[in-house]
Amino acid sequence: MIEIFGVEVSLQPIWLTLEVAAWTTAILLLVGTPLAWWMARMQHSSKIVLEALVALPLVLPPTVLGFYLLIILNPNGHVTEFLRFFGFEGQLTFTKEGLIVGSVFYSLPFAVQPLMHAFEAVPQKLLDAAATMRANVIDRFFTIVIPLSQRGFLVAATLTFAHTVGEFGVVLMLGGNIPGETRMVSIDIFDHVESLEYDQAHVLSAIMLIFSLVVLMLVYGINRRFGVKIG
Amino acid sequence: MTRLKGNLQLILGNFELNSGEFELPLEGVTVLFGRSGSGKSTLLRAISGLDKKTTGQLTFGNVIWQDGSKAVPTQKRNIGFVFQDAALFPHMTVKQNLMYSVKRLPKSVSPADFDEIVTRVGIADKLERGVNFLSGGEKQRVAIARALLTRPDLLCMDEPLSALDWRSKAQMLTLIEDIVSAYQIPVLYITHAPAEVERLATNIVFMAKGQIERVESLQKALSRVDSPLFDDEGAVSVLQGKPMPIEQGLRPVQMGNNTLWLSDLGDLNKSMVRVRVLARDVSLALSDPEQLSIINHLPAEVIELLPQENHRVLVRLELQDGQKLFAEITEHSASRLGIVEGLTLFALIKSVVLAE
């Protein structure tokens, strides 16, 4: 508990939120990059199915996604059993790990879509040219595709992070609301409002508002300064 | 001389490439010629391995590049490729673009002379520039240097001049000629411009509807009356000669014992030049007319008379050094002068230009 503007609030939910968002962003950039690349290069009509699956969290009520994840990830389910086989000892529901897994699914489109569009915009000619200069697929990806998709990565990282910070439904379903463990800031604010603790809700909301504004301005600033122009 | 042999198939949407059996002698410049949509670019992409859906057979010298659907990937074919719009990497400087080639040379291949290439290509003073600050011609020069630095066994060029204005085109043609003679790399060159073919080609691959129609030498292709190389200007002959120092404001070009006089005084430090003569610019005379403003009079022998539409006759002539020349005259003139096969006469050439 610390005191801000004479109001006693716990910043713990904020730290947890930032931690979960950071992990989610890192994981999604790592997993989303090959997935987005694969989808960007796909010419088969099954691409539609994949695109729809990736976009699903955009339209699905977060509680629906949270509900299914709760069922799939339950401590006696196949997924957890499978992970136990590799020495995993915890559980994926009502824990921080669970929050991260849920967030990864929930924020998937926000990472994959900007990356896919960035990859699609890299002219095939440049990759062909690199191939004629003896660059193999992986070489081409790291020396041509990634540098020309910087903007896409920046947008993907920002959106994923911001979207994870703002989530509510999935987190509530999958993480519950355990103070100090799975209580994220959006739920904390909701709790304060429920218990008519408007002062605390004000302080936390203001912190989130300023934080989000600063992060976005920082990102747009970087984008403007270092943005790579193609063409 | 290396030969490129094969039979390639590639279906892209509605377009079907089915080359048929081919065997290309790779000497000098081999031009892939045809209308747009005839499959020139598709064939070149199939040959260079850029399209994974290619099937068929392809051997370069003794090396198998394609066998059924198994293909050696582009990066292992030792080819250089110059794309229509240069395809320079926009996030790199000129030098970084060039070093991309150099850094990836296998250890078994000795690097090319970097300074010599950038000087010859004319970009030595632009190495630190970003590629977005180059003109179209400069971009294409960088692309050529980049391709040469890969130490290619085969240089592929896909309409490298199509995006350039006429002045840069003329300069680039000179550069390409220079490169072919300096490095002795066989070139596969796509164009649909007959003038480029006449200037550069050793052999020509004629393409139509996704098929190779025929492969023949430039001389052979130009000797056909219905050659696809002839557009609305009618039949064209290309004569080769040795440029001599300027005399009385004209450029003499030596062909055997005869001389052709050009009004083009451009800088010609080449051992051989090609000049282009339209058949309709050639008149015939039975004796050498002396009081005439036309300065080019060449003795020639009639080989063949080919009747054309509109009461015109195409006369195939052989010059004293063996080169062939077309003259287009009216039926009336042909019969008035009594032109028959075997007759010796004089060809009067009204206008000659350097092929470009």
pLDDT, tens digit, 9 for 90 and up, residues A133-184? 999 999 999 999 999 999 899 989 999 999 999 888 888 888 888 888 888 9
Residue B125 lies in a domain: yes
* Cα–Cα dist B231/B127, whole Å: 41
What are the phi and psi torsion angles at B150 (to 5°)?
Answer: -80, 0
- Nearest CA among B235, B268, B265 for reference residue B250: B265
Select from B223, B244, B279 the last residue of a domain.
B223
% of residues, chain B, pLDDT over 70: 98
Q: Do residue B50 and residue A231 have CB atoms under 8 angstroms apart?
A: no
pLDDT at position B87, please?
Answer: 95
pLDDT tops 50 at residue A229:
no
Q: Do residue B150 and residue A133 have CB atoms under 8 angstroms apart?
A: yes
- One domain, residues B286 and B148: no
- Nearest CA among B305, B335, B254, B24 for reference residue B154: B24
- One domain, residues B345 and B265: yes
* Cα–Cα dist B92/B96, whole Å: 5
- Whether A128 and chain B come into contact, CB under 8 Å, resolves to yes
Total domains, chain B: 2
* Cα–Cα dist A229/B43, whole Å: 33
Helix (H/G/I), strand (E/B), else coil: B328: strand
pLDDT (tens digit per residue) in B49-93: 999 999 999 999 999 999 999 999 999 999 999 999 999 999 999
* Cα–Cα dist B315/A81, whole Å: 90
Q: Which of A66-70, A84-88, B140-144 has the lowest mean pLDDT?
A: A84-88
Average pLDDT, chain B: 91
Minimum Cα–Cα distance from A228: chain B residue? B91
- One domain, residues B32 and B104: yes
Q: Do residue B50 and residue A143 have CB atoms under 8 angstroms apart?
A: no
- One domain, residues B149 and B174: yes
Residue B340 lies in a domain: yes
What are the phi and psi torsion angles at A59 (to 5°)?
Answer: -105, -25
Residue B303 lies in a domain: yes
Strand B154-158 and strand B187-191: the pairing is: parallel
pLDDT tops 60 at residue B175:
yes
- One domain, residues B158 and B69: yes
Residue B229 lies in a domain: no
- One domain, residues B143 and B212: yes
- One domain, residues B52 and B197: yes
pLDDT at position B88, please?
Answer: 97
- Whether A44 and chain B come into contact, CB under 8 Å, resolves to no
pLDDT (tens digit per residue) in A27-54: 999 999 999 999 998 888 888 999 999 9
pLDDT tops 70 at residue B352:
yes
% of residues, chain B, pLDDT over 90: 69
The structure tokens listed for B209 are 């509807």
- One domain, residues B41 and B103: yes
pLDDT tops 70 at residue A230:
no
* Cα–Cα dist A88/A98, whole Å: 13
Say if CB A183 and CB A39 are below 8 A apart.
no
pLDDT at position B353, please?
Answer: 76
pLDDT tops 60 at residue A231:
no
* Helix, strand, coil percentages in chain B from 3-state DSSP, rounded to 5: 25, 40, 35
Residue B322 lies in a domain: yes
Which residues are paired to A4 by β-bridges? A7
Give the pLDDT band (50/70/90) at residue A226. low
- Whether A133 and chain B come into contact, CB under 8 Å, resolves to yes
What are the phi and psi torsion angles at A183 (to 5°)?
Answer: -85, 110
* More confident: B224 or B184: B184
Across the range B181-185, mean pLDDT stands at 91
Q: Do residue A131 and residue B73 have CB atoms under 8 angstroms apart?
A: yes
The CATH number linked to B262 is 2.40.50.100
Number of H helices, E strands in chain A: 12, 2
Residue B261 lies in a domain: yes
Give the pLDDT band (50/70/90) at residue A3. confident
CATH number of A2-226: 1.10.3720.10
Q: Which residue has the tokens 């089915």?
A: B18
Minimum Cα–Cα distance from A148: chain B residue? B91
Instruction: Give me the domain span that covers residue B324.
Output: 236-354
pLDDT tops 90 at residue A218:
no
For chain B, report the end-to-end CA distance as a whole number of angstroms.
26
Across the range A70-93, mean pLDDT stands at 85
Select from B202, B223, B244 the last residue of a domain.
B223
Closest CB from B45, B76, B89 relative to A144: B89
* Cα–Cα dist B182/A132, whole Å: 22
- One domain, residues B212 and B90: yes
* Cα–Cα dist A206/A59, whole Å: 28
The structure tokens listed for B142 are 């960088």
Q: Do residue B104 and residue A147 have CB atoms under 8 angstroms apart?
A: no
- One domain, residues B245 and B203: no
- One domain, residues B151 and B32: yes
Per CB-CB distance under 8 Å, the chain B contacts of A143 are 100
* Cα–Cα dist A52/A62, whole Å: 16
The structure tokens listed for A142 are 């790291």
The structure tokens listed for B1 are 């001389």
Q: Inter-axis angle of helices B136-148 and B94-103, to 10 degrees?
A: 20
Contacts of A166 (CB under 8 A, 6+ apart): A186
pLDDT at position A10, please?
Answer: 86
Q: Do residue B74 and residue A131 have CB atoms under 8 angstroms apart?
A: yes
Residue B228 lies in a domain: no
Strand B2-12 and strand B22-26: the pairing is: antiparallel
Report the alpha-carbon angle B258-B262-B264, nearest 5: 155
Across the range B338-352, mean pLDDT stands at 90
pLDDT (tens digit per residue) in B294-311: 889 999 999 999 998 889
The CATH number linked to B57 is 3.40.50.300
Radius of gyration for chain B, computed over Cα atoms and rounded to the nearest angstrom: 23
Give the pLDDT band (50/70/90) at residue B267. low
* More confident: B350 or A128: A128
Across the range B133-159, mean pLDDT stands at 95
Which segments within B150-200 are labelled E, that is strand? 154-158, 187-191
Select from B223, B251, B267 the last residue of a domain.
B223
Say if CB A39 and CB A113 are below 8 A apart.
no
- One domain, residues B32 and B168: yes
pLDDT tops 50 at residue B121:
yes
For chain A, report the end-to-end CA distance as a whole number of angstroms.
53
pLDDT at position B31, please?
Answer: 96
Give the pLDDT band (50/70/90) at residue A227. low
pLDDT (tens digit per residue) in B19-51: 999 999 999 999 999 988 899 999 999 999 999
